[in-house]
Structure 1
Amino acid sequence: MEVLIVAPYPPYPPLFGGAARGYHLLRTLAREHRITLLCFASRRERAGLGPLREICAAVHTVEYPAGARWRRLYQARSIIGQAYNYYTCYSRQMVRALTALLARRSFDVVQTEFSQMAYYRIHGDAVRIVDEHNVEYRLLERTWRQERDPLRRVYTYVQARKFRRDELAACRRADAVLTTSEADRQILASELSGTPTRVVPNGVDTEFFSPGDRPEDPNRLLFTGAMNYAPNADGIASFCSEILPRIQAARPETTLAIVGKEPPPPIRRLAGDRIVVTGTVPDVRPWMQQAGVFVVPLRVGSGTRLKILEALACGRAVVSTSVGCEGLEVTDGEDILIADTAPAFADAVIRCLRDPTLRRELGARGRALVERRYRWDAIARDLSGFYRELSEARRASSIGPRAAASWEGARR
């Protein structure tokens, strides 16, 4: 089948959650389908897209919209204008590139990565799919409820209301919606009438991420993720202020590594004798394979966390909040420890640090879980089957009103 993927950034290198999902699904789908990728990319990013060009039939890029480059200006504009996501993901250059692609080639499937990229008209008879990495409006709703600053709270509330409208409109106009968890699928299914929804979970490359033979540092805690992503920055900042001091009071030798791209100034200022802030690293596996405990202290989120799957694949003991591991088929006390208050989270981490047998058992059972349930090959096979189901249904019904309708996001 001819498949067009439309994405808000290049899914390579796969160094954070959204890029990892995009890259591994693209890589495995390309074994069976002819994949064309259209995405935003900077000049520096375009120079590193060789691996994607080897996988895809074609890769097309356009410059990021002004809203992605002039963040503060467009955040202010979004108070009375469109949702901020509109300004970061909609551009006339992307409209022209997408229109030209659809005119030149007949696609069987057009899959939009993230609902933020659904502000475009898709003409023709292709099956239109939205891949909801997160239910974004739910993430915004959780964020405004958690926010303490009055101005930020009001701003996030406004954004949640605006993008809820846009996101649900995009899903209703699609022919199908993918989610990363059953919880997200149920949330959207309750809002959508007649639109097929399918859980396509996040996965992990269990050959790339493995326990390895590096010696463990039993005193090292690890957190990974794109640090320019607000839920990650919020979670680790809260951990350092409310949880880490409790752990270090009981075990002063404990250290923390914060590994991930573009840490904002408040996160960089956390660096000290017992906290390392790395920024981007070429390979996260050495950090994972040597960590004593992998922590996921997220307070807000949606979708599922690939970081947990990667840590489990590396055989690490994981301590997470309920939000952090939401949507994953993990069991507290079996393959992960779950705690939702600062004292309980600290106690769970201390328990792991003190008990090497517990760390090994959690790591082994976590590794077995991802091998059994979260391999990308099996996930891509299921998605390919869904493509075929949708395409066969389209052919059987010919071109009815729904198939002929244009799909577009909010207008200016």
Structure 2
Amino acid sequence: GEYADGAHVLRAKPSEDAMASPNMNLRDPTIYRIRRAHHHRTGDAWCIYPMYDYTHPISDALESITHSICTLEFQDHRPFYDWLLATLADGGMLPRPLPQQYEFARLNMTYVVTSKRKLRQMVDENIVTGWDDPRMPTIVGMRRRGVTPEALQLFAERCGTTKSDGWIDISTLEGCIREDLDPKAPRATAVLNPLKLIIDNFPEGEEVACSSPVHPHFPERGLRHFPISREVWIEQEDFMEVPVKGYFRLFPPTAEKAGNRVRLRHGFVVECTGFDKDENGKVIAVHCNYFPDSKSGTEGSANYKVKGNIHWISVPSAVPAEVRLFDRLFTDAQPDAGGKDFIALLNPASKQVVQAYLEPSLANAVADERYQFERHGYFVADRVDSQPGKPVFNRIVTLKDSWGK
């Protein structure tokens, strides 16, 4: 401790004419410096610390690393890496074979920031809820989002390695996630923006059993069962007071024609007869009649030809749930390129929380269980907040790339 911090350094001399080398990293590089800093293992026992370029190859050798994989900015550091290891091995201080350093281009992905400094800023400023926020490109974040290791491995295989910098569109990752989850995820029904549908001619207090495959491509996985009753929840988007051209879901009758017919998925065909509004003019309920001989899977169902097919959940058996709809964290494809203010490019709609209704089988969903919510996307029971009887689901990815439109 005789000298002050920064007063002296220890340098290596790779060759007699090292200072004339065109590679700056070989010009008598600094390998030790004086720095009084508390170390998490050795405490204050040392006031000298090795530099990164000196530590890196020695640590690799001591830990029996065979291939040290680096990004392209370390390419000019490799000559010193090789020289130091060879010198120490020649002196009998390291065993052979020695590690080899390889470089490839960093993975730059659109709509993502991977800088640790910028990620920490978002955590410290409470822009995200923590390192495990499902929008974060961290391992804990992606795990909580519901991304599987197999999806990440598939993504890595698709990207490959290259020596030239480039950008990978995030839709490539999302496509790998869908490809991995599609054969695995059991199907389920969720109504994210509920609107009550009242089947006026359905017997009061009665229920009819309905069923659907757990997975449409794997009948051996069995069926899931749920009831239909006089009142069911449907999506708000499945009703329009004044339908646009090409709209095939529910809309009311006019003087010229009857209300539209749709099939309640795995249930009955219904015909819209009217709707109710509150004092503010918001539609709060839709009325319809059903056709008792139209139930899916029965002979009579073939007599009803409809273009619309919507999902639903019976009101008495519906399970209330919090559903978090996560989307891309930034609105700009390259938020930290060219000196941009990445904070100003945050997507205000990257997290939306809705109070939804789920089918009965999801009431006690286990944390990290993944499902495809039909017509919506892939979702996972949150590993932190979801509880039996009070499920919380995170959207992993939508069924299709809505940003590509």
Q: Which has the higher strand share?
A: 2
Identify which of structures 1 and 2 has the higher relative contact order when contacts are C-alpha pairs closer than 8 Å and 6+ apart: 1
Q: Which has the higher helix share?
A: 1
What interval of TM-score do these two structures reach, taking the shorter chain for normalisation?
Answer: under 0.3
Rg bigger for which structure?
Answer: 2
